[in-house]
Amino acid sequence: MYAQMVDTGARVAPGELDEQEQRFQARIDEGIRVEPQDWMPERYRKTLIRQISQHAHSEIVGQLPEGNWITRAPSLKRKSILLAKVQDEAGHGLYLYSAAETLGVSRDQLVDELHSGKAKYSSIFNYPTLTWADVGTIGWLVDGAAIMNQVPLCRCSYGPYSRAMIRVCKEEAFHMRQGYDLLISLCKGTPEQKQMAQDALNRWWWPSLMMFGPPDAESVHSQQSQAWKIKLFTNDELRQKFVDQTVPQAEYLGLTIPDPKLQWNAERGHHDFGEIDWDEFYNVVKGNGPCNRERLATRKKAWDDGEWFREALVAHADKRAAQ
């Protein structure tokens, strides 16, 4: 649940930085965290707002595919776990919105940008959750991919973002494990249940690999983000790490990863894997995935339906303050 293709603004060569910016970069190189009141280049501030808010939006929209299954969870135990997980996602969104606000942007502005379609959220949440096995697969793959990206971000250069990431990572470990635990149950169940898990893996595998963003060669903003230490590893590095980690986990479940080209490469010490359909990825990012419109419409409806309640809370607070 995180940011993809964050625009870093116009590129400035290291030799062209003014003196203040050189000092800023030197502090980052030394590993000194940037705090809200410190001077920072406008490009750094804007890039971080884009990255953190996209990350926050992903957490909020990420509640929807799983929330879809709360009323249909197969047992009270699974229902309680899923409720707790979805509540965590809301919490993660709030930690991140708070971090973004320290950069001088208002919560309303951020929410408006999500609802108007100006701000993005992770492509992965535009896929539907068709069966109960999808809930497990999201925890295993989607939260697994998110952890891979977020653990390094605990060391990123912006203090409030790194502190938010530390909290998020602690809770994501629960998300991944509950998903894997759910899949263990299905894979040890009836042949139909195991088939349901295989079907979910077939649908979620490639979109999960796309979560890491475009290949490094096409990732125009990576270099600047890495210099600023708001991105610690490249998209391809993290994607490879994810594949290597996930293959034995799939083997344990007795599930087959839907990629005929997937195989261990002893020379590289990594798994080779097949070509990702980047046309599909860009199409989803552009708003044409299976659920893009539905997700935004659901978000907006929740916001609009809650307006009377938000207003009532303010009216109550004002009345109290006047007494």
Partner 1 sequence: MNSTWPLWEIFIRSQHGLAHRHVGSLHAPDAAMAINNARDVYTRRNEGVSIWVMKSADITASSPDDKAALFDPANNKVYRHPTFFPMPEDVKGL
Residues near partner 1 (CB under 8 A) are 35, 37-39, 84, 87-88, 91, 94-95, 98, 101, 106-108, 163-164, 167, 171, 310, 313-314, 316-317, 320-321
Residues, the chain, total? Answer: 323
Rounded least distance, CB 94 to partner 1, Å: 5
Largest Cα–Cα distance of the chain, in whole Å?
A: 75
Give the Cα separation of 40 and 303 in Å (integer). Answer: 33
Query: What's the angle, vertex CA 66, arms to CA 64 and CA 67, rounded to 5?
Result: 60
- Cα gap 302→60, rounded to integer Å: 12
C-alpha–C-alpha distance, residues 173 and 224, integer Å: 29
Residue 56 CB, nearest distance to partner 1 (Å)?
A: 13
In the complex with partner 1, which residue's Cβ is closer, 164 or 187? 164
Q: How far is the CB of 24 from partner 1 (least distance, A)?
A: 12
Identify the residue whose tokens are 């263990």: 184
Torsion of CA 289, 294, 297, 298, to 10 degrees: -130
Least separation in angstroms between CB 22 and partner 1: 18
d(CA 201, CA 259): 11
Q: How many CB atoms lie within 10 A of CB 197?
A: 26
Q: Which is nearer to partner 1, 96 or 187 (CB)?
A: 96
> Please, what is the minimum distance in Å from the beta carbon of residue 307 to partner 1?
8
Q: What are phi and psi of 34, to 5 degrees?
A: -90, 130
DSSP state of 32: P
Q: Which is nearer to partner 1, 287 or 306 (CB)?
A: 306
Q: How near is the Cβ of 84 to partner 1 at its closest, in Å?
A: 8
How far, in Å, are 156, 169, 240 from residue 152 at the CA level?
Answer: 7, 10, 15
In the complex with partner 1, the residue whose CB is nearer, 29 or 311, is 311
Q: Which amino acid is at 210?
A: M
CB 247, min distance to partner 1, A: 31
CB of 261 to partner 1, least distance (A): 41
Of residues 96 and 255, the one with the C-beta less far from partner 1: 96
Closer by beta carbon to partner 1, 37 or else 190 = 37
Nearest to 205 by CA among 118, 151, 137: 137
- Nearer Cβ to partner 1 (251/318): 318
Smaller CB separation from partner 1, 92 or 203: 92
Residue 249, both tokens: 């986990």
The alpha carbon of 115 is separated from its chain's Cα centroid by a whole number of angstroms, namely 18
